[in-house]
Each structure stands twice: as structure tokens, then as C-alpha cells.
Amino acid sequence: MTAAFARYDLRGRTALVTGAGGLLGRQHVAALVEAGARVVVSDIGSAQADATIAAVKTVTPSADLVPIVIDVTSPTSVGTAGDDLTGRGIMVDILVNNAAIDPKVTSSPGVMHSSRFEAFPVPQWQTEIAVGLTGAMLCSQVFGGAMARRGRGVILNIASDLGVIAPDQRLYRQADIVRDEEQPVKPVTYSVIKHGLIGLTKYLATYWADQGVRVNAISPGGVFNHQDPAFVERLTRLIPMGRMAQVDEYRAAIQFLCSDASSYMTGQNMIMDGGRSVW
């Protein structure tokens, strides 16, 4: 590592990524490994964590990866994982709160679409908030609390461009559905969770500022993942750079925000959205 990048060096540090089996979680793990960190790869099931470990090891066979099952909605699961890691001498220096539920909504002709605000089911509200928001709170309690006691650490919350702007519901319209109330929308939970994560970021950044724990958020724009071409076309018209993100384009930001390269930054939300939120 050249002198210019010395502050990005994560050798000797341990990071924990929640929801690490998903599309971006795998990228976060790879980014942290690239900077030299040992990474605790956690997801709700071992299959998801193992898949990420296998993929990262294909590129970096020497990667130091520790699989663990954590259901971020469960205080018991998060607490047990914390005890388990501590018992094995593994102290988490960096927590990436990334887990989320991406609800699959299906259309039923003749009834109001369940994603619409007027019909949004309370159990779905509770489930999604439990993962995206309560999960980040619980993991911060356990792992951030331990960091504060040790006097050093970093928390990074994965928010979204929809943590700073409202969803443009025209993006989600389906041409073959005539009645407005049958049209799917981006659910209210997504906005609430992502705005909430930015609030949690500011709260914890000030709460632990004098205990050496820095807390920031990153708000990525949409990642191209072979979505419906009509959706992609509509979305890219809203993005000054004229395209969605490539899946690996947030890696350098993760390295910056999780390392001493960002040592004087806390309570901030780094927006990386191809310019969408400034248009």
C-alpha cells in the first residue's frame, strides 16, 4: 500500500457486515477484504453467508472471513452473536448495517395494490422496519456499544438516495394496469427506514463522538441488476449521469468511510447517486 493510501489500510481490523449475502453485501465484504480487514460475514441464514464467502475467496483466496448467522431483528440473535465472537477473541471494529428486506409485490387485478399507502399492511410495515431500522439499532447497541467501551470504532449505515428524496412513483407504473389504485408503488417503509437510518446516524455520531466511535451513512442510488428495461429507461432519465450504478462502484466509498481515511468525518450521509438527488 502506497503512502497515499496508508489511511485506507484496514489490516488488523475486523469488520462485520449484516445482510452480507445480498447483492451489495457481497461487494462491501470484498471492499473491506481488499483494504486488508478480517470480515465477519453475517446473514439470516448460513447459505447466504457461505455464498458470499465462496465468491470472495474465488478472487482473494487468502481472505480472512468468519461466517455467522445473525437475524438482525432478534435481540437474542444479535446478542448471542456478539457473545460468540467475543468468546472467540473477535472484536468488531467496524459495523456495516446493510441488511434489508426488498419486498416482492404482486398485482391482483381488481384490488388495491398492497404496496399502496392506503392499503399497506401493518405486518409488512413491522417486518420491514424490524430488519432495516430496528436491526441497525440492535446491531449498533451490541457492537457499537462494545466499540464505545474500547474507545474506537466505526459504524456505517447503508441508507439510499430515497433516504434524502421521495420516490418518484411514476417509475414503478405498469403500462398494462389502467386503474391507479392497482398500480404498485415504492412502499412507504423504504422511505421511512432510509430517512430513519440517517437520523440514527446523526444520533449515534453525537452520542459516541467523545468515545471514539464514528458513525456515518452512505446513500447509494439504484444498482443496475438487469431490471425491466422500461424501468431502467425511466429511472436513468432522472439521473444526471444518465445511468444506474454498477454493482462495484460503491466499494471505494465503503473503504473510505470504514477506514482512517475518513477520520474527521462523523454524522454524515455520503450521497452517491449519479446526481439524481440534486436534479
Ligand X SMILES: NC(=O)c1ccc[n+]([C@@H]2O[C@H](COP(=O)([O-])OP(=O)(O)OC[C@H]3O[C@@H](n4cnc5c(N)ncnc54)[C@H](O)[C@@H]3O)[C@@H](O)[C@H]2O)c1
What is the closest distance, in whole angstroms, from the C-beta atom of residue 210 to ligand X in the complex?
29
For the window 36-55, what string marks contact with ligand X as x by the rule CB under 6 A?
Answer: -------xx---x-------
In the complex, minimum distance from the CB of residue 42 to ligand X, in angstroms, rounded to a whole number:
7
Stretch of 55-63, 65-73, 137-145, 228-236 lying at the interface with ligand X (CB under 6 A): 65-73
**Where does this chain touch ligand X (CB under 6 A) — which range of 113-121, 139-147, 179-187, 219-227?**
219-227
The smaller minimum CB distance to ligand X, of residues 16 and 99, is found at 99
In angstroms, give the least distance from the CB of 39 to ligand X.
Answer: 15
Question: Contact between 21 and ligand X (CB under 6 A)?
Answer: yes
Q: State the nearest-atom distance from the C-beta of 78 to ligand X, in Å.
A: 9
Binding mask 67-96 for ligand X (x = CB under 6 A): ---xxxx-----------------------
Instruction: Report whether 101 contacts 136 (CB < 8 A).
Output: no
Considering only residues 8, 15, 19, 35, which one is a binding residue for ligand X as defined by CB under 6 A?
Answer: 19
For residues 103 and 151, which CB has a smaller minimum distance to ligand X in the complex?
A: 103
Asked whether the beta carbons of 135 and 194 are under 8 A apart, the reply is no
Residue of 10, 15, 17, 24 interacting with ligand X (CB under 6 A): 24
Q: Is 136 in the site for ligand X (CB under 6 A)?
A: no
Q: Kindly tell me which of 147 and 159 has the beta carbon lying closer to ligand X.
A: 159
Q: How many other CB atoms sit within 10 Å of the CB of residue 157? A: 29
Which single residue brings its beta carbon nearest to ligand X?
22
Asked if 100 is part of the footprint of ligand X (rule: CB under 6 A), the reply reads yes
| 131 is a site residue for ligand X (CB under 6 A) | yes
- The reply on whether position 164 binds ligand X by CB under 6 A is no
Taking Cα atoms as reference points, which of 222, 99, 127, 111 lies closest to residue 168?
222
The reply on whether position 232 binds ligand X by CB under 6 A is: no
Q: Please tell me the distance from the alpha carbon of residue 141 to that of residue 77, in angstroms, as a whole number.
A: 13
DSSP state string for the chain: --GGGGGG--TT-EEEETTTTSHHHHHHHHHHHHTT-EEEEEESSHHHHHHHHHHHHHH-TT--EEEEE--TT-HHHHHHHHHHHHHTT---SEEEE-----------TTS--TTSGGG--HHHHHHHHIIIIIHHHHHIIIIIHHHHHHT-EEEEEE--GGGTS---GGGG--TT--SGGGS----HHHHHHHHHHHHHHHHHHHHSGGGTEEEEEEEE-PBPSS--HHHHHHHHTTSTTSSPBPTTTTHHHHHHHHSGGGTT--S-EEEESTTGGG-
For ligand X, give the closer residue by CB, 183 or 219: 219
Could you list the residues that contact ligand X (CB under 6 A)? Answer: 18-19, 21-25, 43-44, 48, 70-73, 98-102, 131, 158, 160, 220, 222-223
